[in-house]
Structure 1
């Protein structure tokens, strides 16, 4: 798998992949999420390709205090080939280059397979509660 920065031509394939992987929620418009990411650290929006086919994504951020990983996705047909691990390692590498001391990520508590995936990579559950509040609605009204 080749890892590179997201390009505008990737949008449809990225959104299709996120749908395939069950990452899209009604309250998060994927086009808006992509557009927002492209305004901040666009070089930290990664895609993985195999023979020019987009098969994986990772959206990374660093706020100067912590790094964050979102939208890690690998196509169902390309799983169990270490592509997810490769993207996580690249995210860690890019964050370390920026002086980031810790990488955080959120996983839905019902997603036991992904929790196990991250645990195998050395991640552990923090003793924290994630709170959120929608500031700009994504749903078209």
Structure 2
């Protein structure tokens, strides 16, 4: 298994179909969230924090970041199953961390679905710790 160089760049509109398929392949989509609407919404706020990773022109990874002036959030971190465990997710996280530091961001938060135990170790290896909080949400605009 050769580890090829990941080219990281900002999202481009032509990436939409490939990203949505990548998210589906990685089990990130849910029936109540329309991924095309998530992309469209993200492009209106800090599109420079919406990153894509390519190998030889093929999209194999993505990360959607955001910073509200208080905390940053990470969403849709995904690496194509055939390219996992090669350090690409770490590369994307380091790239967005550098951008967030330039913006003066003091902390990154992220949510992990309770059933996704495997990814907890990955984030711990990057220095993330469990925050003693309860996540609550309220949908203002239904996607479906």
The TM-score, its normalising length taken from structure 1, stands at 0.97
Distance of 1:121 and 1:100 partners within structure 2: 17
Query: How far did 1:110 drift?
Result: 1.3
Instruction: Give the alignment's Cα RMSD to 1 decimal.
Output: 0.5
Cα drift, residue 38 of structure 1: 0.3
- Map 1:90-129 to 2 at 5 A: 90-129=95-134
Unmatched runs of 5 consecutive residues or more in structure 1? none
User: SS in structure 2 opposite 1:136?
Assistant: coil
Within the candidate set 57, 60, 63, 1:58 is matched to 63
**2:35 is the alignment partner of 1:24:** no
1:112 to partner: Cα distance: 0.9
- Which residue is 1:131 aligned to? 136
Q: 1:138: Cα distance to partner?
A: 0.2
Does 2:88 match 1:83?
A: yes
Task: Please state whether the residue corresponding to 1:104 is helix, strand or coil.
Answer: strand
Structure 2 alignment gaps of length 5 or more: 1-5
The answer to whether the aligner puts 1:69 opposite 2:74 as a matched pair is yes
User: Deviation string for 1:33-62 (max 9, x for gaps)?
Assistant: 000000001111000000000000000000
Runs of 4+ in structure 1 off by over 4 angstroms are: none
87-96 or 28-37, larger mean C-alpha shift: 87-96
Q: Per-residue CA shift, 1:46-89, capped at 9, x if unaligned?
A: 00000000000000000000001000000001011100000111
TM-score by length of 2: 0.95
**Pairs aligned (count):** 139
